[in-house]
Amino acid sequence: TQLLEQSPQFLSIQEGENLTVYCNSSSVFSSLQWYRQEPGEGPVLLVTVVTGGEVKKLKRLTFQFGDARKDSSLHITAAQPGDTGLYLCAGAWGQNFVFGPGTRLSVLP
């Protein structure tokens, strides 16, 4: 049983479209992180959210942490081929981090 669920599992869109991916849990997390992973590389941190209801923007990416700190979303505006990759959410759990299974995004030119 996964502590963190992510949806959709796969997403293929055209360049210029908007999209939202989700990270959900039945557990409360003190913080959530979003990572992007490209083939053959390790994940790279995009953002950390720590406060319920928090919204963070990183250029075309908008991250939101749910009020109850059980879920998070990542919205990408005007997606570009460079956004292609595996998007992982990770929650602080005990002394380490648990990861969701990821959303694999493909942005077609």
Partner 1 sequence: GAGVSQSPSNKVTEKGKDVELRCDPISGHTALYWYRQSLGQGLEFLIYFQGNSAPDKSGLPSDRFSAERTGGSVSTLTIQRTQQEDSAVYLCASSLVGGLNEKLFFGSGTQLSVL
Burial zone of 12 (CB within 10 Å; 0-12 exposed, 13-18 middle, 19+ buried): exposed
Q: CB of residue 16 vs partner 1: minimum separation in angstroms? A: 27
Q: Are 100 and 5 in contact (CB under 8 A)?
A: yes
Toward partner 1, which CB reaches closer, 14 or 30?
Answer: 30
- The reply to whether 42 sits near partner 1 by the rule CB under 8 A is yes
Task: Say how far apart CA 99 and CA 83 lie, in whole Å.
Answer: 20
Q: How far is the CB of 85 from partner 1 (least distance, A)?
A: 13
Binding site for partner 1 (CB under 8 A): 2, 4, 6, 30-31, 33, 40-45, 48, 50, 88, 90, 92, 94-102, 104
